[in-house]
Structure 1
Amino acid sequence: MASILSIPEFFEGRSIFITGATGFLGKVLVEKLLRSCPHVKAIYLLIRPKQGKEVQHRLDELFAFKLFDKLIEANPNYKSKVFAVEGDIVKDGLGIGQVEEKLLLDEVSVVFHSAATIRFDESMKLSVEMNITGVKKLLDLCKKMKKLEALVHISTAYANCDREQIGEEIYEPPIHPNRLMSAVEWMDTESLDDLTPKMIGNRPNTYTYTKSVGECLLKEEAGGLPVAVIRPSIVGATYREPFRGWVDNFNGPSGVFAAIGSGLLRSMKGDFDATADIIPVDFVCNLIIAAAWFTATHKSSDIKIYNCTTGQLNRFTWGQMERLSYEFMMKNPLNKVARIPNPRLTKSLLLHELKVLYDHMLPAYLMDFFLWIMGRKTMYVRLQDKIQKSVRSLDYFTSRQWEFSNNNMLMLQSQLSEEDKKEFLFDVKLIDWRMYMEWYCLGTKQYVLKEELSQLPNARKSLARLKKINFLMNTIIVIIIWRLLIHRSVIIRTLWNSVLGTALHVVKRIPSIAKSS
């Protein structure tokens, strides 16, 4: 029996096609393939022109990220293996030209499909076009590929969030894919938006809804193609590679950490004891690559589903995230802090709304008032509106928890050689959450907010000054409130005089007590 190739050996001399390469997950996937599988023949990236920028310009922008610095050291000529293919997932034939399509059909043997709209508040029309119709169009292309050995589709662990227990299987969708695609074709956007709340039912948004339907379409339309589906949970900053804490967007936890660190987010609705199923992006990419290897080398007619989650194997809670984000944002503060970080989770909707009113909106209006007096542009109320809208979209996930099966992920891990286990690490049991949270908070500061770590001493001094001002202001408020109460209440005034008298009596006796002892 021939020995199974290692992952780098399998990818040697093969051509790869990737959609969604300009996204957070896609960038890390491209970097990892080039660095850990250096003898890959070619990587073709589907990129659409955007904001007047041609696809080659967008590819150059992709490689300008710090993420690729380590790769430059290891393989300075890596760019010669990467090619931009102009196209768009929502267009017929993916919008790919005839010459480029022939090249892909003749050369590509592995496809990674990560293109999707991940916006929770996206319109139903665009969500369907990206997350369902786009899958169908990709499958049509893959069916014509002469050398295809693996198609890896990136879904989400929350595609079936209407269930509490989620296995590694494709469930019956809320609506058949063809019916939904047909409805989107003939219905106008306004009518579709009006129907959306009823359509998604007990799911929280169009993203999870269309991802569920997209999985069903994949199952029905794959037609014997070698397919694997990866379902990551909440994808966070890198854990280990190419370096710790890299993240490039405000989505999910990084946006929350930025708001907490600046003091603009102090209350979130959520369950302190519920599982925060966060997974580092490099673990996800390693699993994606390993799944492609397994699909191609262990040929099977079944579609394998991999729940890429942490909750059942290495549990981390929202309460831990609250405490650790506070600790590390105080230890490594942001350069610009409006208020002292003080995040708090609560399950009570009433308490949360009161805290938002008192601890978010009221201070925002006051700070904008002072900016207006000084003749400067107001900003804090607008910021709060944006933060609250973003945080509300997370309420569903911070207030619930799910039980995911991880049998296939554990099986895949057992199939890797010891060398591949180290190079393509996705054993979530090895995650040290405390260390990861510090790296994540620092990554948010350094890579998302573009703040230099060399400025940390100054940031710490600024935070120390803010703490003193905060203490002084709180003291003044307490004194004012207390004095008002004393003035209005005989009982409180009598109690105050009694306490003050007792305290003065004790102070006077201290010298005599010390002398007698």
Structure 2
Amino acid sequence: MKSLFITGATGFLGGAVLARALSDTSIESILLLVRANSPKEGVERIRNNLAKFGCSETLLTKINERNILLGDLAYSEDFLNDDRLSGVTHVINSAAVASFGDNALIWKVNVEGTLKFVKRMADVAGLVRFVHVGTAMSCVPEAGTLVTESMTRKPEVEHLVQYTWSKSTIEQLMIEQCPQLPLVIAHPSIVVGHSEEGCRPSSSIFWVFRMALMLGKFMCSLEDKIDVIPVDYCAEALLLLTKSAVLSETVYHISAGDTGSTQFIEIDKAMAAALNQQPVSSHYQQVDYSELVKGRREFKTIYGPCNERLMLRAMRLYGEFSMLNVRFSNKKLLDLGMSPPPRFVDYINRCVEITRDFSIPELMKVDFK
């Protein structure tokens, strides 16, 4: 791989991709899109993020100002004329506003800015592969199903959050407006923690499991399954999709699949063991959202100082996701030679260790920015 361009390297998934790419001797050069006031500040941001992934000092020093392209997808026109983009051969586009909140930048970054960037890269003569990171949830899957890869687009009203709608929209626009782009779309399932570093890189989504189990009731059944993968596994799969000489498909799930998905009752037992507590399964209640609303006055007692309305909004959003009992087929990825991912319960103790001293309101800020 001659020249790899990564967007989103100061974030959770992009940081994991870069951490793995730095040890890949087949990559000759790496260029990184970074929001910063100077290349020096950009290097500092990248190194600080890489440290969360357990990168050695030797790997950290591989990043210098020559690796930095200053820019922001919200204002992509400001960096698209940089000559270095014309020498890029491979792209992993992981930058996005991944908030489940009402963030005004979701559409500006995930759709408008990304499309301008994609059009610029589609004109690069030597571009071999453009891997765009979407989300498996963008297909709005039917509850209780094993979902195979699809580009079927559901209307906006069927999406639970604007984030998944924005990811679905940009995929259609890329295909329609840039047919010459050597595009591969990666659809990760639910990315939680790191198989070695736990939640050190990010507490994203992990807090939801703790929140529900602390409450002792939620909208899902403990027998339901959830498709979870660690971020380092997702990064490894993205690099495989980027490097593979021939790919027969446009869309690939990066997921735990049917056999690797985890029941909530397994998560409860693993979480309890890590916290040295009793599982809540003996007294757990599956309830409607209306029951959660009725109990909102208990939130401050259970979770400490918190915004009741924001807690309820989080419970409703993630509660509806948890009820889906959806698994995403990973057969196409495994057929490329990718190994199955670690199961969530196999590294959940590392996630607990990192987050045990933080409250739920503190942890959830990363997903409601």
TM-score (norm 2): 0.84
Alignment-derived partner of residue 246 in structure 2:
298
* 1:44 to partner: Cα distance: 1.2
C-alpha separation in 1, matches of 2:128 and 2:357? 39
C-alpha separation in 2, matches of 1:238 and 1:399? 24
Higher CA-based Rg: 1
**Letter matched to residue 161 of structure 1:** V
Does residue 148 (structure 1) correspond to residue 127 (structure 2)? The answer is yes
1:171–1:257 distance in 2 versus 1, CA, 3 Å: closer
Alignment-derived partner of residue 360 in structure 1:
299
C-alpha separation in 2, matches of 1:442 and 1:342? 19
C-alpha separation in 2, matches of 1:346 and 1:356? 16
**Letter matched to residue 21 of structure 1:** A
**Letter matched to residue 236 of structure 1:** V
1:45–1:445 distance in 2 versus 1, CA, 3 Å: farther
Q: Give the conservation status (yes or no) of the 8 Å contact 2:260–2:343.
A: no
**Letter matched to residue 246 of structure 2:** H
Does residue 84 (structure 1) correspond to residue 32 (structure 2)? The answer is no
Alignment-derived partner of residue 212 in structure 1:
168
Between Structure 1 and Structure 2, which shows a larger proportion of helix residues? 1
Q: Give the conservation status (yes or no) of the 8 Å contact 1:17–1:110.
A: yes
Alignment-derived partner of residue 367 in structure 2:
none
Alignment-derived partner of residue 310 in structure 1:
256
SS at match of 1:208: helix
Alignment-derived partner of residue 111 in structure 1:
91
Alignment-derived partner of residue 250 in structure 1:
203
**Letter matched to residue 32 of structure 2:** L
In structure 1, list runs of 5 or more residues that go unmatched. 1-10, 175-199, 332-339, 365-378, 414-420, 450-517
C-alpha separation in 1, matches of 2:307 and 2:107? 30
2:287 equivalent among 340, 347, 356: 347
Q: Considering only aligned residues, what root-mean-square deviation do their CA atoms show, in Å? A: 3.0
Alignment-derived partner of residue 227 in structure 2:
277
How many residue pairs end up in the alignment?
A: 355
Q: Give the conservation status (yes or no) of the 8 Å contact 1:24–1:249.
A: yes
* 1:136 to partner: Cα distance: 1.4
1:412–1:324 distance in 2 versus 1, CA, 3 Å: same
C-alpha separation in 1, matches of 2:89 and 2:15? 20
C-alpha separation in 2, matches of 1:315 and 1:299? 25
SS at match of 1:201: helix
1:45 equivalent among 9, 18, 32: 32
Alignment-derived partner of residue 133 in structure 1:
112
Does residue 169 (structure 1) correspond to residue 150 (structure 2)? The answer is yes
C-alpha separation in 1, matches of 2:19 and 2:133? 17
Per-residue CA deviation, residues 248-272 of structure 1 (Å, 9 max, x unaligned), is 333211x2356579x6x54433222
Does residue 289 (structure 1) correspond to residue 273 (structure 2)? The answer is no
**Letter matched to residue 439 of structure 1:** R
Q: What does residue range 382-401 of structure 1 map to in structure 2 within 5 Å?
A: 382=306, 384-401=308-325
TM-score (norm 1): 0.62
**Letter matched to residue 198 of structure 2:** G
Per-residue CA deviation, residues 300-335 of structure 1 (Å, 9 max, x unaligned), is 6xx52111121413130123223322331236xxxx
1:162–1:64 distance in 2 versus 1, CA, 3 Å: closer
Per-residue CA deviation, residues 258-297 of structure 1 (Å, 9 max, x unaligned), is 6579x6x544332222211111111111110000112xx1
Alignment-derived partner of residue 364 in structure 2:
none
**Letter matched to residue 184 of structure 2:** A
* 1:68 to partner: Cα distance: 5.3
1:139–1:304 distance in 2 versus 1, CA, 3 Å: same
Alignment-derived partner of residue 14 in structure 2:
26
Alignment-derived partner of residue 235 in structure 1:
191
Does residue 436 (structure 1) correspond to residue 347 (structure 2)? The answer is yes
Per-residue CA deviation, residues 203-227 of structure 1 (Å, 9 max, x unaligned), is 2110111111111112212323221
* 1:448 to partner: Cα distance: 10
Alignment-derived partner of residue 493 in structure 1:
none
1:320–1:218 distance in 2 versus 1, CA, 3 Å: same
* 1:76 to partner: Cα distance: 6.4
In structure 2, list runs of 5 or more residues that go unmatched. 361-369
SS at match of 2:253: strand
1:342–1:273 distance in 2 versus 1, CA, 3 Å: closer
